[in-house]
Structure 1
């Protein structure tokens, strides 16, 4: 019997179209001939070659997030930290200097403190709520400033407009992590950011079942540099994760609004409970950046609440064990409420002194507020706080 080589399968023609995006798991895409492959690599023809270089599900998701952020040309990567790395390592090199917010996510801080310096990229941390502090940190060789709109986990609000003006005047790139706030609360490009990034894993996807990042640049040349770096270093996102995240985006606005309402009410309730030393939520009058938050976020506080209890690690352990009904986990953005302890998770790599300098104690917790009934959340946290007091 004569053997034949099977050609790649092409979906049957149809006059109708699927309502839900298909999943494209293929790693390899076949071309007709070398000229056709050249045309794709050189930009003369649209198409896919190898999934590490791009695939349909990543592009579909990227375009949806682009629309939310009011931009084009975004790139979906394998994680939020991949997006941070694509910015810092894809755009900076030996001899450059980077300024980072001093209350960035713990792994972002580690990247800046340990990895960039060994590659010859100098780093300085500065308080992003104080434009003068950021200005003092700048050097002639400063290439980029990286800040979060609202810091993780201390919920301080950056002076993004002031820092954007400063960076523009100095010819320095401004990269903004918009994970906590999302484009429903603020669009950093409209405020002067050059680069915006997200951990899609969190609120955008919203169900704790994907790990993805997204980054976009105002300048297409910067976007190309980050894309090339991501392809070269294998920051490939999973097609299935991209598909799940695209599905999650369909309910994003509804989830965000409901969780935000819960968060504001929970913050006010926590502030009145015995044993709670402080509560941080941007719309509260006692928040240190309340006025800036009101102007920048338009009265929105988002879904993150942080609070501190008396009693140190012993009380923290008791609270986490007794708050049965919320997951104690180092994550955020799920439809269910999660509780995290920065000193033992996101910021564990920092010394106790370094954590204390930014307000993170052993009794400090961050809550990613979900969609449960508010009364159920109060009951759960009441049990946790009672256990912390007894401890």
Structure 2
């Protein structure tokens, strides 16, 4: 059970026991037995709830889906085997050959790759536009446009989308408005309250929070769309692992505490980096020098989240010196862990883009994305001070 805000309630009775476990049982079974063909018909035709084959659903996935549904103010969400599984379910499960989709031009690297390479190969036309510029998105519209996909805060440049303007445009034109809420999470932003039709998450990141789970989630406002997402996910085998779901539930128990701590440290780190020699620029939504500062404040209401991006002077040489000197910080293409991690888009998430395309997004060889974890803030600032100082001579 979940209360209205998604907090766990745990009545899991055991057969023949007056007590119940305080953690959700792990259910790794691939198949579930039914008593009769009629009983199986009752399940498939919705008269009773039950499980048949784990690709079609299992208890641990349902627990995770119900938790996220409550956090997002939704119902009927689908859990997939990865964040990109959720993106794929939305794009491939709801669009068809001849349709056109507009994506934000600063999406996650693999989302961009899907937009540029995979969808066109399947006959789905794509365009990219600045999600902070509604006029640019309007200019990209075609008669066959069916969907707009954006991130609230872009990965990794932390630009803030004009959610209100895009929601109004999509309503006006009858388009599906899809919002990837991975960076902001439902604690920082709830897209359905701002006009979204579909919400996507990579549970792998801050929601699960321990770098030991790979899961995604997608949910639509319209139950009919949720049915289509579910059918596509089942058919294409986007099934999540029961063990990963079990771990994710454990991680989500501490999610609000982790979010608040990491966000507070991220704000401190952003201000600290801005004062260090050798740092060319710092990007954090709550800073006054953020290019979308006014929109960030209005949209996020003081929630800057746990991501900080910055650019070192000196390019790749300085970047190498920085990661070597950043003792205790993991240089890894992930985010949302309990420990702070460093990501270098030019060599990881956005390496498939041309140098010119990366430059257009502002992703130089000295650009880093930081996912702030739960370390003591003073110790974290000391590590960054030393690492930047080590990189300055290389600049």
TM tier relative to shorter chain: over 0.9
In structure 2, list runs of 5 or more residues that go unmatched. 1-12
2:185 is matched with 182
- Equivalent residues in 2 for 1:224-303 (5 A)? 224-303=227-306
Counterpart of 2:169 in structure 1 is 166
Deviation per residue, 1:268-327 (Å, 9 max, x gap): 000000010000000000000000000110011000000001111111111111111110
Q: CA deviation at 1:13?
A: 2.5
Query: Equivalent of 2:206, from 203, 208, 212?
Result: 203
Determine whether 1:57 maps to 2:55.
Answer: no
* 4+ aligned runs moved over 3 Å, structure 1: none
Quote the residue 1:328 is aligned against.
331
Where 1:390 maps in the other structure, the secondary structure is coil
How far off is 1:14 after superposition? 2.1
Q: Distance in 2 between matches of 1:221 and 1:13?
A: 39
Show the counterpart of 2:6.
none
Question: Is the partner of 2:233 in helix, strand or coil?
Answer: helix
Please state if 1:142 is matched with 2:142. Answer: no
Note the alpha carbon deviations across 1:118-157, whole angstroms, 9 max, x for none: 0000000000011111111111100110000000000000
- Deviation digits for residues 237-262 of structure 1, max 9, x if unmatched? 01111011111111111100000000
Q: Which TM-score applies when normalising by structure 1?
A: 0.97
Q: How many matched pairs?
A: 382
Q: CA deviation at 1:11?
A: 5.7
Query: Is the contact made by 2:158 and 2:285 (CA closer than 8 Å) also made in structure 1?
Result: yes
The corresponding residue for 2:94 is 91
**Structure 2 partner of 1:7:** none
Q: What RMSD over aligned residues (CA atoms) do the two structures have, in Å? A: 1.0
Match of 1:23 among 22, 26, 30: 26
TM-score w.r.t. the length of structure 2 is 0.96
Conservation of the 8 A alpha-carbon contact between 2:14 and 2:20: no
Instruction: Output the CA distance in 2 between the equivalents of 1:70 and 1:46.
Output: 22
Give the match for residue 371 of structure 2. Answer: 368
Residue 101 of structure 1 pairs with residue 104 of structure 2: yes
- SS where residue 386 of structure 2 aligns? helix
Shift of 1:381: 1.1
5+ residue gaps, structure 1, are 1-9
Kept in 1: contact 2:318–2:392 (CA 8 A): yes
What is the rounded CA distance, in whole Å, between the counterparts of 2:238 and 2:273 in structure 1? 40
Partner of 1:222: 225
